Structure 1
Amino acid sequence: MNAPLRINEALLIADCAFKPFKCVAWAPQDGNGELSLTVIDRTSTNIGRKQIPSSAYSDPAQLERLLEQARAELSEEGYTLQSWSMPH
């Protein structure tokens, strides 16, 4: 996957990256192009948050690195995630 990603594609990829938890993502209305991700558990508790600049979420390689980093942080905190790989 070398073509730039649209925001909807990045949102779908991010949602899959944090299973079995839910990933809530949105673009703040201030128009800076940043994507905010919040990972919540089954009790709707916020267990992780990541800000992703538009330059990163539109680039599949950068998005993959940031999502892997966020997954690693959750794993270090004791959360077990399903296996995941960036779609190609």
Structure 2
Amino acid sequence: MTAPLRINEALLIADRAFKPFKCVAWAPQDGNGELSLTVIDRTSTPLGRTQIPSSAYTDPMQLELLLKEARTELSQEGYILQSWSMPH
């Protein structure tokens, strides 16, 4: 069984998943534990956004699945991402 991720680890993984773009993350003020991730280009133009519940970003397998889905969506929109795999 894989150990749960801390939020900082999840954020680092998410940032690396969207290279060469930047991934900006924040937790909404309602305190529900959800993370909002926005991928931006070098001019700070948003390219995509996703919400990740705390149950997903603490679970490496769920986080990997959500990040892969977001990467696929960006690729389908024509954005070219560097290759990436979930660290183990």
Structure 1 residues 26-41: aligned runs within 5 Å: 26-41=26-41
Matched, 1:79 2:82: no
Consecutive unaligned residues in structure 1, runs of 5 or more: none
- C-alpha distance in 1, partners of 2:13/2:28? 19
- C-alpha distance in 1, partners of 2:66/2:43? 25
Q: CA deviation at 1:30?
A: 1.2
- Give the letter aligned to residue 86 of structure 1: M
- Give the letter aligned to residue 60 of structure 1: P
Q: Which runs of 4+ in 1 moved over 4 A?
A: none
**Corresponding residue of 1:64:** 64
Per-residue Cα deviation, 1:62-85 (whole angstroms, up to 9, x for no partner): 000000000000000000000000
Q: Secondary structure at the residue paired with 1:31? A: coil
- Give the letter aligned to residue 12 of structure 2: L
CA RMSD of aligned residues (A): 1.0
**Corresponding residue of 2:25:** 25
TM-score norm. by structure 1 comes to: 0.97
Q: Secondary structure at the residue paired with 2:80? A: coil
- C-alpha distance in 1, partners of 2:11/2:28? 14
Q: Kindly, what percent of the aligned residue pairs are identical?
A: 85
TM-score norm. by structure 2 comes to: 0.97
